[in-house]
Amino acid sequence: MVTLAEVARHAGVSASTVSYVLSGKRTISTPTRERVERSIRELGYHPNAGARALASSKSNIIALMMPLRTDMYLPVMMEIAIAVATTAREHAHDVLLLTGQEGPEAARRVVGSGLADAMILMDVELEDQRLPLVRVTPRPAVLIGLPSDTTGLTCVDLDFAATGRRCVDHLAELGHREIAVVGEAAAVYERRTGFAERTVRGVRERAEELGTRVLHRPCDGSYESVAGTLARIFDERPGTTGIVVQNEAAIEPLLSLLRQQGRAVPEDVSVMAVCPEQVAAGTSVPLTSVAIPAQEMGRLAVELVMARADAGAGRDQAAVPPRIELLPPTLTVRGSTGPAPTPR
Amino acid sequence: MVTLAEVARHAGVSASTVSYVLSGKRTISTPTRERVERSIRELGYHPNAGARALASSKSNIIALMMPLRTDMYLPVMMEIAIAVATTAREHAHDVLLLTGQEGPEAARRVVGSGLADAMILMDVELEDQRLPLVRVTPRPAVLIGLPSDTTGLTCVDLDFAATGRRCVDHLAELGHREIAVVGEAAAVYERRTGFAERTVRGVRERAEELGTRVLHRPCDGSYESVAGTLARIFDERPGTTGIVVQNEAAIEPLLSLLRQQGRAVPEDVSVMAVCPEQVAAGTSVPLTSVAIPAQEMGRLAVELVMARADAGAGRDQAAVPPRIELLPPTLTVRGSTGPAPTPR
DNA sequence: ACCGGGAGTTGAAGCGCTTCAACAGATCTC
DNA sequence: GAGATCTGTTGAAGCGCTTCAACTCCCGGT
């Protein structure tokens, strides 16, 4: 392995000069800089990450914790992870992938050892185990998701309450008076992961204001479960004309079942979803939907965490106060929603 | 931050002793070891990762490169990634997530800087850009997937050729004489990612032996595309009674379309898939399938790469020669395949 | 002509850990 | 009972980088 000292010798300068060329923290004359840069290229030099981390006490690594739960929709997680990794590279950082296996200990270990100098936490629960750690650690952290107590925390998420309201607005405008929400798996609510609840709360809230009736049913993604849920919905509320789905896995089965039952979309039933754009556009009936902006969330999380990291390095970290960043929902109308059928 | 020196002072021993307690590379008497361990616990000591990497020139980090292609099935990738991260932890390693954004440079950077001391490459193409690097680097690497020239490489993958053969066997046993393969998106074949081709080759090979007719059509996951593909299949080969699907996204649309066309599964058409177990079990008709063992692949990749890393550290790395590890396909019969209908 | 000061460069002191060589004392061996 | 062999422990030398303080020029101001 080529070392900085060898580069210095090759370029006929001191080690410090090479270091300053690399970091740009001191002005170096153009001829010197160019000479050093040439030596670096010719020797194929790569600064040693460990030595760097040791000397500067910054690892240039962001830890990304994503507890994997089988009932969470993986593509969204994945998209966020990819966005995080990509954005991190733009800030000259790499991403360390932590799963939930180790529990909250993982965060302690990674931060305690100086392996990572910032953290992004996904799949946040309302009373998340990792919060005490996050509140205490000096390293910047950003949550993707919203716990119940957010004091002192920086969070990024889709504004699911607004999303719920937006869905009701849309259906109500089209004249629907009875709507059903096909939600996430029951386990998601029990675990009290905030987002699912927030959506339903948003739906209920606006529905009350507008005098719309709402029926909410959790539903896991299996065909059987969707069939059961749908049957119960039309059983309890035969007048239902609008359905909001917040469970990507349930979408195709739902559309397929409606077809089988002879209920046309959108003539008899309007269906809308809360899901990634790609999913909404690719279904058998392109779906009116509120997008889950996975990429933006990942990107924003990194930007926020880096801002805090830089501030911590520079002046006071209070310069970048904690904040809650709720992305406004974007509704895209596609073919699956239409005017409510006139009751006969 | 607590340092090793502080632990040593607190325990009344030298720094080296603490280090040896931590690494277990020298025998330490039980009383001393326990005293040190207590100090470690009491002070909440975490060894500094950078210093460790510098002194030992091992980072205990595995780089996982996964170029993200939108046409690849993300859940499988994700499952592999999770398995890799989990297994890596069992070997006291962490995982660094690299996306395709940077291209092959990422590998050079990460290995050159000593950030990672091993690599796992996913989504391998037949003539992969990263191969020259992998062949040259002294760090152990394992590919998940099979390039065209595997000399000197260690690879892990499902045996897709055998998978193709297995599918034909199964259908032929049930009396099917004309089968269709609904494949991956055309882009997947163009890019010459090996696995899709290998499956089709396996299918063709065995079909020839058994005198079965085969029609293969690429197909992206959209409903439209599946509809078109299916129409063309029955148009060209009206006698088709068996379908093999190798594109997770196409499964539900396919089943839905068959239902609409009044073709019963499995009475009129037998359908089988190459996909993760979870997917096969959760569809509207539980599918007879060959599993894509994502977890095993991730786990095995880590085991292999660690074996090489340990060997490199110990004696000669030739002790663990490169090898190709093709997992044998496992067929699970569910409800979607049955005897071929008697031709009328 | 002299001094203050910025620009450019450097030597040296660590950063916190691993590991080698060395040593003291206990245990064998004949 | 003397030398050989273990066992447990230690001091010190780095690992490759960053960064501080210091030093040398050279320029402009007076």
Cross-strand bridge partners of residue A326: A157
Residue B190 is predicted with a pLDDT of 72
* Cα–Cα dist A50/A60, whole Å: 11
Termini Cα distance of chain B: 81
CA torsion A279-A284-A288-A289 (nearest 10°) is: -20
Tens of each residue's pLDDT in chain A, 344 residues: 899 999 999 999 999 999 999 999 999 999 999 999 999 999 999 999 999 999 999 999 999 999 877 656 677 888 899 999 999 999 999 999 999 888 888 999 999 999 999 999 998 888 888 999 999 888 999 999 999 899 889 999 999 999 999 999 999 999 999 999 999 888 777 766 788 889 999 999 999 999 999 999 999 878 888 999 999 999 999 999 999 999 888 898 899 899 889 999 899 999 999 999 988 887 878 999 999 999 999 999 999 999 988 875 444 555 678 889 999 999 999 989 999 888 65
Chain segment A19-37, per-residue pLDDT in tens: 999 999 999 999 999 999 9
Using alpha carbons, select from B146, B150, B227, B235 the residue that is nearest to residue B182.
B227
Selected residue of A68, A90, A113 to mutate for chain B interface (largest B Cβ count, 10 A): A113
Whether residue A187 contacts residue A229, with contact meaning beta carbons closer than 8 Å, is answered with no
pLDDT band at B315 (very low <50, low <70, confident <90, very high): very low
pTM of the full predicted structure? 0.90
* Cα–Cα dist B207/A321, whole Å: 66
CA distance B276 to chain A (A): 13
Structure letter (DSSP) for residue A80: H
Residue A217 is predicted with a pLDDT of 93
Residue B163 is predicted with a pLDDT of 97
Asked if the Cβ of residue A60 lies within 7 A of any atom of strand D, the reply is no
The helix-helix angle for A160-173 and A194-210 (nearest 10°) equals: 40
Chain segment A228-259, per-residue pLDDT in tens: 999 999 999 999 999 999 988 889 889 989 98
Distance of CA B204 to the CA centre of its chain: 24
Residue B340 is predicted with a pLDDT of 85
Task: Tally A–B CB contacts below 8 A.
Answer: 146
For residue B113, pLDDT beyond 80: yes
Residue A223 is predicted with a pLDDT of 82
* Cα–Cα dist A11/A215, whole Å: 74
For residue B314, pLDDT beyond 50: no
Residues 6+ apart with CB under 8 A from A36: A7, A11, A13, A17, A18, A21, A28
Contacts of A282 in chain B (CB under 8 A): 221-223, 249
**Residue B56, CA: closest nucleotide via C1'?**
C18
Protein-contacted bases of chain D (C-beta within 7 A): 7-12, 14-21
Q: Is A322 left (phi over 0), alpha (psi -120 to 50) or beta?
A: beta
Q: Which residue of B has its CA nearest to A59?
A: B50
Residues 6+ apart with CB under 8 A from A47: A4, A22, B113
Neighbour tally for B25: CB within 10 Å: 9
B60 touches chain A (CB under 8 A): no
Structure letter (DSSP) for residue B221: S
Using CB atoms, pick whichever of B48, B101, B284 lies closest to residue A89. Answer: B101
Chain segment B135-185, per-residue pLDDT in tens: 988 899 999 999 989 998 999 999 999 999 999 999 999 999 999 999 988
The helix-helix angle for A15-23 and A4-11 (nearest 10°) equals: 100
Whether residue B185 contacts residue B221, with contact meaning beta carbons closer than 8 Å, is answered with yes
B228 touches chain A (CB under 8 A): no
> Average of pLDDT values for B302-306?
96
* Cα–Cα dist A288/A311, whole Å: 41
Using alpha carbons, select from A191, A130, A204 the residue that is nearest to residue A161.
A204
Contacts of A256 in chain B (CB under 8 A): 252, 255-256, 259, 284
Structure letter (DSSP) for residue B193: B
Chain segment B327-344, per-residue pLDDT in tens: 999 999 998 999 988 865
Helix (H) or strand (E) holding A94: strand A94-99
* Cα–Cα dist A46/A63, whole Å: 23
Using CB atoms, pick whichever of B48, B61, B74 lies closest to residue A78. Answer: B74
A48 SS3 class: coil
Amino acid identity of residue A8, one-letter, is A
| Contact between B109 and A46 using a beta-carbon 8 Å cutoff | yes
